[in-house]
Amino acid sequence: MHIKKNEILNLENTLYEAIKNSDTEVLDKLLHADLLFVVPSGQTITKEMDLQTYRAGNLKVNEIIPKVEKLNIIEDLAVITLQMELKGDYNNEPFEAKYRYIRFWKKFPEGIKVVGGSGMAI
């Protein structure tokens, strides 16, 4: 049940498109029900909190420029670190920032899903 690097890179691209399109249906499939993610403010959020941000229209991302740093595969788990430049607006305030993310993808019978991660401004 090993994961392949190209599977993760494809899923990352699917994730970026879902974020840009506020596509909660795709995000719902990609994020594990028990997801825990530390956002740049330091708050820990759940899958439902993340989806609600998009449903409410609070976060609009217009541009994502990712630069993968490392991608390690550990059997059925993938750990990816990357830098991302984001442009958009949050609560109607425009923002443009650079972040470093770590994301954990795990393979399940129903597919590979994000189980955790963290993002910080750099």
**Residue pLDDT tens, the chain, 122 long:** 799 999 999 999 999 999 999 999 999 999 999 999 999 999 999 999 999 999 998 889 999 999 999 999 999 999 999 999 999 998 889 999 999 999 999 999 999 999 999 999 99
β-strand partners of 17: none
Distances 54 to 9, 18, 36, 93 between C-alpha atoms, Å: 23, 10, 17, 15
Checking DSSP bridges between strand 93-108 and strand 111-121, what pairing results, if any? antiparallel
Report if pTM > 0.85.
yes
Q: What residue has token string 């997801």?
A: 35
Work out the number of other CB atoms within 10 angstroms of the CB of residue 79.
Answer: 16
- How many Å apart are CA 11 and CA 30, to the nearest integer? 8
Burial class (CB in 10 A: 0-12, 13-18, 19+), 96: exposed
